[in-house]
Structures are given as structure tokens and as C-alpha cells.
Structure 1
Amino acid sequence: MHHVGSTTARTVSRRTLLTLAGLSGTTIALGISSPEPAGATPPPREDLFGLGVASGAPSSDGMVLWTRLAPEPLAEDGHGGMPSQPVSVRWEVARDEGFRDVVQRGNALAQPELAHSVHPQVKGLEPATRYFYRFRAGRSMSTVGTFRTLPAPGAAVDSFAMGVASCQAWYHGHFTAWKHLAAEPELDLTVFTGDYIYEYGIRSGDNLLRQGVELGPEHARPVETLAQYRLRYSLFKTDPHLQAAHARAPMVFTWDDHEVENNYANSQSQYGVSPEDFLHRRAVAYRAYYENLPLGAEALPRGPHSHIHHSFDIGALARLSVLDSRQYRDPVPQDLSEADDPGRTLLGRPQEDWLAERLSSSAAQWNVLANGVAVVPVTDDRVDQWDGFPAARRRLLDQLARTSDPVVLTGDIHHHAAAELWADASAPPGESDPVAVELICTSIGSDGDGHAGGHPDWTQHPYVKAMDARRGYVHVTLTPSEATSTFVVVPWVEADDTAPREVAFRFRTPAGSRRLLPA
């Protein structure tokens, strides 16, 4: 049995890893903060912010900001129409949208080595405070984004609102769900649970379901190279509704498989690519992931390895732990007996230990996990989910049973699903204690319009309380007394972006209950 840490870290030499990384410490540092002008060349034109702005990696005193200069976002070489020279970018953070009360400003260097992205790390802000931010390069000014810093550690919090989103196959439909999420009156944070891009070739008459768009042949090839990954992010991020959602509130992320390749497991490709070659592909995919999202410097990959699992507290109300369910997992089992091996792990043993510490040490009322694949038991053949790791799932459920008010946020399946995680999933209703609730969000665009209702593999189980296969997101509000989960859908996404916001179902979870009750 191949376990995490046994061979994958040794399949690529240290020299190869450094080559794959291709970045010096200076390059990374200047992309976060730099003096002005830092040897930068004047911007080549004025319309530089074609991919919008974003914030993420929140804390009680700061935030990571992001933008990427791209006057021609769909340039085939993946560089967005930028020259192969660095450009100085100035950022500002203010208390007001008109930027009359600027509290911090600085510079970062947009460099070709990072696809002209910048990741300024703003510190020294007030907790639980609304701020506005923007970027300037030469005479070009970005749109304005906004964020609220997290509450102070241990502070009482009356309410905290989160959006949960996943699986945004741009080519399958318009991002109407992002439009409605960006318009939510209460939204402190968005949690993205995986599949920010898809690596498949996009071809008219095959999988291009989004109407009213045309793409060149460069998008028809499967994504494998760094230039192709950069271009694919650019394509998805040109969507104005995704840009609006990023500007509306901070976003935190985990990945699933399509940021690299469908159903990959650690260094294993399902298409027979050798581990060494696949790790090269994983390295460039992880690099593009960092370049295109508001991530902290710790997430910058070193070759094919990236540290994205992390945890933070929302005052005394909640602890949110973001998990990585791809990078460290054991390979797909060959049969059910192998799946039952107690040594198998989805998270990798170091991450399991880290999560156990985060859960056991938490003093928060709610303990929220952001997770790439479904925990709830479904069928034995869904081995890409936690169903393929029953022993690891038992270890996780045992931890959650000892944790205050656990809530699992998941995506992946292109269905809304509201489920309870039972201590014994095979027990008749009422004869097994609930361990946690799992709120699975449907896709933003993947699988096109979809339909109301669920899949019989899921709905046959009494612990799956509701399903819906239309596109949408989940809006979750946490208070000290309960969690309310609203499963939002849109009736169509293929034809256009005008579909209305509808609620498929809504549940409440009283503190201490670990159950889903109709709301």
C-alpha cells in the first residue's frame, strides 16, 4: 500500500523542484510589497485590470489583496497582453468608497514570472471593520473592492454570513449564481470548495453550453502547460459576475481535482501519466492557482507541493478549517478490501493530525470545515469521495463527535444536498446520533441548467434531507444560537444570465443539536 509521504516527495529531485518553481525569493517578495518604482517599466496601456480585483486570507487585522494585469486577458500565450517586463502597481485601502480616508497604501511589482499578478498583504487594520481597496498602474485604475476584517480573537459575534460555492465550468453556463451571491445583503465571506477552473478542451457542439459566446481553437485543447492554465483562469475570470463576487467580499479557497486533472490522487493520474510527468503538470497547475487567487505567500508552490490547508477563528463564534483533500490522498482503491485498509488516508496523516489539533483546541461555538469531496456515505463505488476512505472517515467522524457544533461545507457533486452525518450510517432513522451536518453546494455552472430533485443513490438514505440539481450556491448564517443554511438556485444558466434567484430549501441547525430542521 502506498501512503502519503512514502515515495511521492522523492519522485522529483530537489534540483527539478527548484526548476519547476522558477521563482526567487526576491520575485515572490516584490509581488507582495516593493519600493516605487522598483525598476518597473511604464504600463503599456490604460486598460490593465481586465480580470478584476479580489481579497482573501482574512484575519482580524488584515487581508491579502489581489489583481493581475491583463489588458488582453485571452492572449494565447497566457500573459494577458502584458510585456515581459515588470510593472509597478500601487494599492490603497480606505474606510470609505470615495477614498477620502485612506488608511494604508503601498506598492507591489507585477512581474512576468507570476503572470503580472500581485498579492499585497495588508496588516495593521481594525478588527470587524469595513474597508475598500483599489489598485493603480500608471494611468489605469481598477474597480473598487470591499472587505470586512474578521472579529478580534475571542470577541463575541452576533452573526456571521458566508456564501458557499463550487464547480464553475464557465463553458456550461452563465455565472448567474455569482451575480445573486454578490447581491446578498449579508455576506462577510465566501468559501469556495473546489473546481475553480476545468482542464477539459472547450469545443462548440460538444461541451460549450453557454450561449452567446465564441472561442478560438486555443481553448479546444486540454490544459496541460503553464501558459494554458493561465489562459484558462483568464477565460473564467473575465466573467463580470465572478469579478463582482470577488469584489463584494473576501474569498477563501480549497481545490478539488479540476484545477489540475479530473480525479487525480496525489501523484497519480487517472490517464496513465507517469508520476514524474504528472508531478510536473501538478507543479504548473499549482503555480497558476497561486497566480490567479488572493492567497497568502505560504500557498505559493515549491514545485508540485503547495500548502493550502489553513484555519482561522471568527471571534468566539466559529473556527473555520480549510482542508486539502487532493494533494496528500492515497491512490484510488482497486477493490473494496483495499478501500477498507485502515491505513488509507484522504488528507494525509500530517494534515489529519493538524485537523485533530484544530478541533480539539477550539473554544468556538461552531467548528466549520471546508472540504473538497462529500463526507456523507453514498455508495461503495464512489471511491473518489470519502466513501473510498471509510477508515479515514471514521477517524474524522470520531473527532467531530467530540467537537462543538461541527458543520462541513462541501461541493463537487453539482447538486445541492443537505445531510446529517450519523455515527452509524447503517442504523434505522432515530437510532444513530448525528455527529455533524454537511451542507453540499451545487455548482455555479457545471452541468448546465440542471433540474429540480436529486439522485437516487443519495435520496435513498434517511440522513440526506434534501437535494436539488440546479445551479446555485448556499448562504449560511451563523449566530450563537443556530446556523441557518439557505440553498439558492437559478432556473437556467445556459441561455443567458437573467434567471431569478430562488430558494430550493432552507434548514436551521440549533446549537447543540447537530441536526437539520426545516426553516
Structure 2
Amino acid sequence: MSTLTTPRAAASATRPDVFTLGVASGDPTPDGVVLWTRLARDPHGRNGGMTEAAVDVDWQVADDERFTRVRAAGRTRTGPQDGYAVHVEVGGLPAGGTFFYRFGALGRLSRTGTTRTAPPPTALAPVDIAFASCANYEHGWFTAYRHLAQESPDLVLFLGDYLYEEAAGTYRAKSGNPRSYGDAEPTTVEGYRHRYALHHADPDLQAAHAAAPWITVFDDHEVQNNWAGDHPETPQRDFLARRAAAFRAWYENVPVRLPQRPRGSTIQCFRRLSWGATATFHMLDTRQYRDVQTSGPGAADPRRTITGGAQERWLVDGFRTSRARWDVLGQQVFFSQLDLVPGPPRGFNGDAWDGYPVERDRIVASWQRSRVRNAVVLSGDIHTHYVADIRADHDDPTSPVVGTELVSSSITSEGDGSDHSAEVAGALARNPHIRYGIARRGYLTARFTPERLQAAVRVVDRVSTPGAPVRTAATFTVADRTPGLQQA
């Protein structure tokens, strides 16, 4: 029986706290959710200051914050082989519910987290989400996470670059680096674990994780900048061993299910979750199976892929069988065409979908062929908020609008940013399908109902110092079965 249900559950102030990295939940289904924590007495120390060969960890899920009505409870075990991380897959919960959870170990209690289960499969329940990407610890304070937590979303989607792998001080923000990783570039599981510990020890990130369940995917910086498939950005020995270490640390530090546990240098990251009949979230992996980047004529080779053949077929099949009001792609890099160069000639970012345009066209055509009711793509990576109409033909600005792309900037990456960026102004002028852009830090919120999508661009004006307020820079709506953004 879980010791959390007995008088011994009271936290002992004389024992060091082992829950310094917070708690999290994720990947909700109609009957359950994943609970996560990672034990550490000292986030900065080796193994988080933990020395035990094994630790029993108790957990509870309840209907109320006082835990007087406990729904589920149990005990699991962790140790150094797991980085002292805990994943608990809780089942048997009522659909569409809000629950509270906590852990206990070594005489201490964790903070209480809030989580939710998805509604029943046929329910057309509204869902409020927040989504974000790109959190460079050195580039600023995680103020945006604190504000995201205060939004109390039903669900948080994190679209990659949860941390950055560069050696301390080598990636400088224009507004300066107010914090430091304080170590060399990680290449081993121990090095990546240390980076995650620094992030998880941040109180603003802890607040965001404790506020709602997350659905998390990785991009490049969780391993190495701009890696593609089996290829690092720059040649290095044993890249696959490094990738295996990075995947293992990612799994240990995010609230995902057992199928996402890596097998050596491979991992099953892409997956599908639904929020009743309102929204289906197709979460992609655009790193592990992609061809090496190019922005030249070779990009138009129809054999080139950013998803890999199996994942593309899985996605297309998901469109074909979907009955959701909103089909949402949660993925890493800019999806729409983005001409970066005053021209002619045009210039594109080969690391984004512009480096794989034929596959992009196939995917857009597939959701039209499958009669997807409303298609929405959520993206990150580019450190700028953008809002765009997706057209049937990216090279024809008069072709019909067939979807929506919402791009979240960064939590901190590239520092404070600006309301008036020449780069953003140029992008808007050259790409008329992009309706809005702003180079500030922050996140986006989106409310999906049976009738419409309502999105808000939420920005903080500075991350170089803590505590900046949040504001809404722009709002947009998309009506059911009427593709095309309307600024509210």
C-alpha cells in the first residue's frame, strides 16, 4: 500500500528535499495520464546528489487538492539506471476529469500537480491549449512559462528545443546571456541529464509542468543543432552513440509513455492523441528520419523526405480515418513556404519544410483528398511568432486556402527580441500568405470548439531580466469549414 495514505506521509523538514525538479504529467487519454518526477537532492550535483541504489516512490491521484478522495495510488521504484526518473501510467480514471497528483519518497512529499483526462471519444468538448518551443536556459528567464501556467490550459504542447546543447557561453543572445549552463557541450547521458536538471529546477518551468498535462516532441537541440537522420551537422565520431544518450535523457525527463522509451539510438516519438471528437493531435518527428538538408535545386527531388516513408503513411492514414472537427499537426519546423531573400532569386531555409517541398505538397494534398474538416499546423523552431494561411499551391498566391499554420516563437531563445524587426517586415512583404509576425518571446494559446478556432499570440517584452508581464500581441479566428484566418 502507498505510504502516502498513512500518517507517515507527512513531509519531514529534517530530511533533504528530493523533489527539487518538480512534477509533470502528459499524454492524456480518456481513462488515464502519465505522471512524472525525477528525484534530486542537488540539481547541480552528480546524479542530482542521489546515492541510493534504489528508491521506492509512492504516488497518488485524487479528485481534490487535499487528497481526501483518492482515485488511484501505488508505488514504483527508480534508481541510477533511470536517472532517478519516475514514469507512472495511470489508468482507470473517468474521462473528461480534472485531477490532482503527488509523489512521496524518502520522507518527503512533492508539490501537487494538476492534470486532466481527455473527454470521451464522441464528445465535442472545447479544448484550450498553449504551445511553445525553444527554451535556451542561457538566453533568459523562463518568465513565459510562468504566464503559460497562469493561463490554466487543458493541455500544453511543446514542439521541440526543450534545452540547448552548446557549450556554456558559445551561443550569445543580442540582449546578453543572463544565465549559464556552466559546462561543456554534452555528449553523454550524464551530460544531458545535467542540462535537464538545470531546466527542471527552474520554478517557472516547474509551474508550467504542474499546471496541465503536456504532449512533448523533440527537435534538434535536444541532440545537436541541425542533425538530420544519422547525420550530425558537423562530422563527429560515434554520433549514433551520442544520439542514443540524448534520446535516453529526453525520455527520462519528459512525461511520455513506455512506447516512447528509446531502443539505443532509435525512438518512437511520433504518435496520435485525441481530445474527444473536437481535435486530433498528430505529433510528428521531423528529425530522426529526414534526409540531409539542402536549399538548392536538389530540394525538389520527390524522393526527399522530412518524415520518412513510414511516418508519412501513418499521417496520411490518420487523415483518412479522422472524424475530428480539427486535425492538428504538432511539429517542429516552419511548414509554409517562407522566402527569406529579397529577389529574385528566392531563398529558403533548407532545415524547414521548404527543404522538402514535394513531400509537403503531398501532405497538403492528402488532407484535402481525405476531406479533413479543418487542418491546422502548429510549429516552432524559428524564434518568431508567425500566423499563416496554408494554400493548396505554395507557389500560387491565388490558390485556395486549405489550412492554417500557427508558429510559436521561443520561450527565451535569441533574447528579448523586438516588436519591429526588419527581418519580419521583409518576410511579410515577400510571403503574402503569412498574415502576421512578431519577433518577441512567448507562446500561443488556442481554443478549439466545434464552431471555431480562436488563437492568441502571447508575448513578453524581455527575458534578459525576470518578471516581465505578458500581453496579447494579436488574436485570430478560423471558422469551422471556412479555412482562412480572420484577425479579431
Q: Do these two structures clear the TM 0.5 threshold for a shared fold by scoring above it?
A: yes
Q: Does 1:325 align with 2:286?
A: yes
- TM-superposed deviation, 1:457: 5.1
Indicate which of 184, 201, 210 corresponds to 2:167. 201
Which position in structure 2 is the counterpart of 1:245? 208
Q: Does 1:264 align with 2:224?
A: no
Which position in structure 2 is the counterpart of 1:123? 91
Q: Distance in 1 between matches of 2:244 and 2:396?
A: 44
Which position in structure 2 is the counterpart of 1:356? 316
Which position in structure 1 is the counterpart of 2:449? 479
Q: Which residue identity does 2:378 align to in structure 1?
A: L
Indicate which of 437, 442, 458 corresponds to 1:488. 458
Which position in structure 2 is the counterpart of 1:28? none
Q: Does 1:338 align with 2:338?
A: no
Q: Does 1:413 align with 2:382?
A: yes
1:53-202 pair list within 5 angstroms: 53-75=23-45, 77=46, 79-157=47-125, 159-185=126-152, 187-202=153-168
1:165–1:323 Cα change, 3 Å: same
Moved over 4 A (4+): 204-208
Q: Does 1:235 align with 2:198?
A: yes
Give the number of equivalent residue pairs. 463
List alignment gaps of at least 5 residues for structure 1. Answer: 1-43
Which position in structure 2 is the counterpart of 1:470? 440
Q: Distance in 1 between matches of 2:44 and 2:170?
A: 17
Which position in structure 2 is the counterpart of 1:36? none
Is contact 2:454-2:478 (8 Å) kept? yes
TM-score by length of 1: 0.87
- TM-superposed deviation, 1:205: 10
- TM-superposed deviation, 1:475: 0.4
- TM-superposed deviation, 1:156: 2.6
- TM-superposed deviation, 1:337: 2.9
Q: Does 1:285 align with 2:246?
A: yes
Which position in structure 1 is the counterpart of 2:218? 255
Q: Distance in 1 between matches of 2:279 and 2:205?
A: 26
Which position in structure 2 is the counterpart of 1:39? none
- TM-superposed deviation, 1:404: 1.3
- TM-superposed deviation, 1:220: 3.3
Q: Which residue identity does 1:353 align to in structure 2?
A: R
1:359-378 CA-to-partner distances (Å, cap 9, x unmatched) read: 11001110001011111101
Which position in structure 1 is the counterpart of 2:5? none
Q: Distance in 1 between matches of 2:100 and 2:416?
A: 35
Is contact 1:70-1:80 (8 Å) kept? yes
3-state SS in 2 of match to 1:57: strand
Q: Distance in 1 between matches of 2:326 and 2:172?
A: 44
Which position in structure 2 is the counterpart of 1:376? 336
Q: Distance in 2 between matches of 1:111 and 1:309?
A: 28
- TM-superposed deviation, 1:501: 1.1
Q: Distance in 2 between matches of 1:399 and 1:94?
A: 43
Q: Distance in 1 between matches of 2:380 and 2:63?
A: 34
Q: Distance in 2 between matches of 1:125 and 1:84?
A: 33
Q: Which residue identity does 1:515 align to in structure 2?
A: G
3-state SS in 2 of match to 1:272: coil
Q: Does 1:367 align with 2:327?
A: yes
Q: Which residue identity does 1:224 align to in structure 2?
A: T
Is contact 2:169-2:180 (8 Å) kept? no
Q: Which residue identity does 2:261 align to in structure 1?
A: L
Q: Distance in 2 between matches of 1:369 and 1:412?
A: 15
TM-score by length of 2: 0.92
1:436-489 CA-to-partner distances (Å, cap 9, x unmatched) read: 100000100101101114524521211100001110000000011100010000
Q: Distance in 1 between matches of 2:383 and 2:333?
A: 11
- TM-superposed deviation, 1:400: 2.6
3-state SS in 2 of match to 1:383: coil
- TM-superposed deviation, 1:204: 8.9
Between stretches 201-210 and 451-460, larger displacement belongs to: 201-210
Which position in structure 2 is the counterpart of 1:27? none
3-state SS in 1 of match to 2:388: strand
3-state SS in 1 of match to 2:232: coil
Q: Which residue identity does 1:252 align to in structure 2?
A: I
- TM-superposed deviation, 1:87: 0.3
Which position in structure 1 is the counterpart of 2:260? 299
Question: 1 or 2, which has the higher strand percentage?
Answer: 2
Q: Which residue identity does 2:163 align to in structure 1?
A: I
Q: Distance in 1 between matches of 2:212 and 2:171?
A: 36
Q: Over the residues paired in the alignment, what is the CA RMSD in angstroms?
A: 1.7
- TM-superposed deviation, 1:209: 3.4
Is contact 2:361-2:393 (8 Å) kept? no
1:407-455 CA-to-partner distances (Å, cap 9, x unmatched) read: 1000000000000111122324xx2101210000010010110111452
Is contact 1:487-1:506 (8 Å) kept? yes
Q: Distance in 2 between matches of 1:493 and 1:394?
A: 37
- TM-superposed deviation, 1:226: 1.0
3-state SS in 2 of match to 1:516: strand
- TM-superposed deviation, 1:210: 4.6
Q: Distance in 2 between matches of 1:164 and 1:62?
A: 21
- TM-superposed deviation, 1:108: 1.1
Q: Which residue identity does 1:127 align to in structure 2?
A: A
- TM-superposed deviation, 1:84: 4.6
Q: Distance in 2 between matches of 1:475 and 1:278?
A: 36
Q: Percent same amino acid among aligned pairs?
A: 40
3-state SS in 1 of match to 2:314: helix
3-state SS in 2 of match to 1:120: strand
Which position in structure 1 is the counterpart of 2:473? 504
Which position in structure 2 is the counterpart of 1:30? none
1:77-112 CA-to-partner distances (Å, cap 9, x unmatched) read: 3x1000151100000000000000011100111111
3-state SS in 1 of match to 2:389: strand
Between stretches 59-68 and 195-204, larger displacement belongs to: 195-204
Q: Distance in 1 between matches of 2:348 and 2:240?
A: 27
- TM-superposed deviation, 1:45: 4.3
Indicate which of 170, 173, 186 corresponds to 1:223. 186
Q: Which residue identity does 1:67 align to in structure 2?
A: T
Q: Distance in 2 between matches of 1:392 and 1:93?
A: 43
Is contact 2:138-2:180 (8 Å) kept? no
3-state SS in 2 of match to 1:242: helix
3-state SS in 2 of match to 1:163: strand
